[in-house]
Amino acid sequence: MSESKNITILTVDDNDALRYSLTRTLKEDGYKVLEARNGAEALRLADDCPDLITLDVHLPDKDGFEICRILKGNPRTAHIPVLHISATFVEAEYRVRGLETGADGYLAEPTSRGELLATVGALLRLKQAERDARLDAEEAEKARKELEKAHDELEQRVQERTLQLAQKTDEIRELTGKILMLQDNERRRLARELHDSTGQMLVAMKMALDQMSEEAKGHKIAPLVADTIAINEDMSRQLRTMSYLLHPPLLDEVGLPSALHWYTEGFAQRSGVKVELQMSPDFGRLPGDMEIALFRVVQECLTNIHRHSGSTTADIRLTRSPYSVQVEILDTGKGVAPDRLHGGKVVSGVGLMGIQERLRQFGGSVEITSHDNGTSVVAVIPLNRQLWEAV
Ligand SMILES: Nc1ncnc2c1ncn2[C@@H]1O[C@H](COP(=O)(O)OP(=O)(O)OP(=O)(O)O)[C@@H](O)[C@H]1O
Ligand SMILES: [Mg+2]
């Protein structure tokens, strides 16, 4: 007898001699064997899920085809290979019928020991391959589900983080908006303070010095008084410039075009950069905070041209349509270093970032284009129709 295979085979046959011979052959080959004499017994023992069933076709209670149909129709036993062995129903039509009702093999008696064991072995290998494939598929399905779960969790986390990031970005924007507004208010307050307080004191001092100059006529001290008057006038001028740069009074009083005319003239004198300012004469007024924002855009860009570009000229074009207002500042300098410019945005520096933030507060945007022969900054703020009609 060969070594035990730990494989159980149920042999179903009402003929004791045939069943005995079959059982002996299988046992000799190392299989464990259960035996059933009729259909009812076969179904009962099949419930313990043997690894294979050899099934006689001619049985006293139910015929073998019917038993096979029941076994294959039951999910618990459907996977068990069924091998019909018949001494009576040996014709081809019975074999066809047997295989069509779900049997996995059909042997007609007399069959040789070799053929029986080879068929049983083949069916068991097939069953094993099926089981392996099923296990592989189950493993793959399990892995897929785990991956899907991990993906869903990751997706969920990404969504949460994206939401948090969006909230933080909104908070930062709001805060930046407030800081910019506070900065403008503070500059306006400082400008007034300088003008109204220190400026007035310098005026008073100038009046006293003028008086002193009258008194000092012909005295040794007269040139000293004259020098002091010159210093006082210089201080007044500087103070006024400082105050106006902090917040041009023209901006509130007359509007952006006048403030820009005044600013670009002064800038050209101080920097030596020739500034060309173009805007339509009927440009009109815009809401105060928008005028400040556009003024600061021009101020920052001209300062940048003077500090970074090496350009001797600057062009400013201010245009307005019912839908938007646009300011374009061009120079003919050396351009922004490529490592600082990414997709129309400059990545370092507070000045240009501040401009971007200012414009964002109005739903606007800024686009910077740079070559080695100049830079252009285009800032656009959308306007709505009511605003256009109201101003
Ligand atoms: N017109 C220009 N021509 C050449 N380079 C420029 C020009 N404008 C900006 N840049 C480059 O872009 C950088 C960022 O400009 P930004 O105004 O943001 O900062 P900054 O001028 O260096 O400092 P600040 O914060 O004082 O404005 C500059 O440092 C400069 O290298
Ligand atoms: Mg700058």
Which token pair is 79? 């996977």
Do the domains spanning 8-111 and 249-391 agree at the CATH topology level? Answer: no
Q: What is the mean pLDDT of residues 354-367?
A: 90
Residue nearest to atom 12 of ligand 1 (CA): 336
80 lines ligand 1 (CB under 6 A): no
Measured between alpha carbons, how far is 15 from 38 in angstroms, rounded to an integer? 10
Residue nearest to atom 10 of ligand 1 (CA): 336
Ligand 1: which of 180, 334, 346 to mutate, judged by most atoms within 8 Å of the beta carbon? 346
Measured between alpha carbons, how far is 319 from 325 in angstroms, rounded to an integer? 6
**In 3D, which of 281, 280, 284, 265 has the Cα closest to residue 383?**
284
Give residue-wise pLDDT tens across range 141-195.
999 999 999 999 999 999 999 999 999 999 998 898 899 889 989 999 999 899 8
pLDDT for res 122: 96
Whole-structure pTM value: 0.63
375 lines ligand 1 (CB under 6 A): yes
Ligand 1: which of 304, 312, 350, 358 to mutate, judged by most atoms within 8 Å of the beta carbon? 304
Ligand 1: which of 273, 303, 336, 367 to mutate, judged by most atoms within 8 Å of the beta carbon? 336
338 lines ligand 1 (CB under 6 A): no
335 lines ligand 1 (CB under 6 A): yes
Under the banding of pLDDT at 50, 70 and 90, the label for residue 104 is very high
Atom of ligand 1 nearest to the CA of 350: 25
Give residue-wise pLDDT tens across range 247-257.
888 888 889 99
For the domain 8-111, what is the CATH code? 3.40.50.2300
Distance 303 CA to ligand 2 centre (A): 6
Examine the pLDDT at 389 and tell me if it is beyond 80: no
CATH class of the domain whose range is 249-391: alpha beta
CA-CA-CA-CA torsion sign (334, 335, 340, 342) = negative
Domain boundaries along the sequence of the chain:
8-111, 249-391
Measured between alpha carbons, how far is 247 from 194 in angstroms, rounded to an integer? 11
Measured between alpha carbons, how far is 292 from 251 in angstroms, rounded to an integer? 7
pLDDT for res 347: 67
Atom of ligand 1 nearest to the CA of 374: 3
Distance 302 CA to ligand 1 centre (A): 10
314 lines ligand 1 (CB under 6 A): no
Under the banding of pLDDT at 50, 70 and 90, the label for residue 344 is low
